Amino acid sequence: LAVLVSGTGRTLANLFDAIDAGRLDARIAVVGADRDSIRGLELAREQGLPTFVVRPGDCDGAEHFSRTVFDAIEAHGAETLVLAGFLRFLPIPEAWLGRVINIHPSLLPAHGGKGCYGERVHRAVLAAGDATTGCTVHYVDNVYDHGPPILQAEVPVLPDDDVERLAARVFEQECHALPEALRRHLA
């Protein structure tokens, strides 16, 4: 696997746990990010994994950014790419369609799209008064937060929920959903 991160790396840490516990038969070949000094990269380095950073500001547009990212991934021999809390739009080259997997903290197509990520998703769910939310693991196509779902897990929204409580309950499901979706994909 190659894994891309933009933030705390909790999703990456969950993959380490699943692999260590034998719940996911995979190997992480490389971890990449779109900026330096983030916890996700530190976590990868602590595990002795190779890392790379591609800064969008150093690239000439989204296609150039994408080409640079996929060149780095291919150089490490990865066969599947996981977007683990990676928040930037990434155009997918033809050869990688069906091999890039994203996890999103809502029941897509609800509460997805540009600007709708992380805590903002849970705020939108509470503002909409939804009774149910959850997470979606899906193949990535060339539309933001779009592409064939691999699995969705539902989570109830409780009357006394705030963003933090709801986010924690959804993340708990994400920790099961991502390894399970990867197992299905790899099988």
Residue ranges in contact with ligand GAR by CB under 6 A: 5, 7-11, 40, 84-85, 87, 103-105, 117-118, 145, 171, 174
Nearest distance from C-beta of residue 12 to ligand GAR, angstroms: 6
β partners of residue 51: 31
Q: What SS3 class is residue 150?
A: strand
Known active-site residue 122: no
Nearer to ligand GAR, 32 or 40 (CB): 40
Contacts of 139 (CB under 8 A, 6+ apart): 97, 98, 100, 101, 102, 147, 148, 149, 150
Question: How far, CA to CA in Å, does 114 sit from each of 105, 121, 133, 169?
Answer: 14, 11, 18, 23
As a whole number of angstroms, the distance between CA 159 and CA 156 comes to 10
Nearer to ligand GAR, 26 or 171 (CB): 171
As a whole number of angstroms, the distance between CA 166 and CA 144 comes to 23
Nearest distance from C-beta of residue 13 to ligand GAR, angstroms: 8
Which single residue brings its beta carbon nearest to ligand GAR?
Answer: 85
In the DSSP assignment, the letter for residue 14 is H
Catalytic residue among 64, 76, 104, 138: 104
Nearer to ligand GAR, 9 or 179 (CB): 9
Nearest distance from C-beta of residue 35 to ligand GAR, angstroms: 12
Task: Name the region of 126 (left: φ>0; alpha: ψ -120 to 50; beta: rest).
Answer: alpha
Query: C-alpha 23: how far from its chain's center?
Result: 18
Nearest distance from C-beta of residue 169 to ligand GAR, angstroms: 11
Nearest distance from C-beta of residue 19 to ligand GAR, angstroms: 16
Nearer to ligand GAR, 38 or 74 (CB): 38
β partners of residue 151: 137
83 closest CA partner among 34, 20, 19: 34
Nearer to ligand GAR, 96 or 104 (CB): 104
Active-site residues, by number, are 104
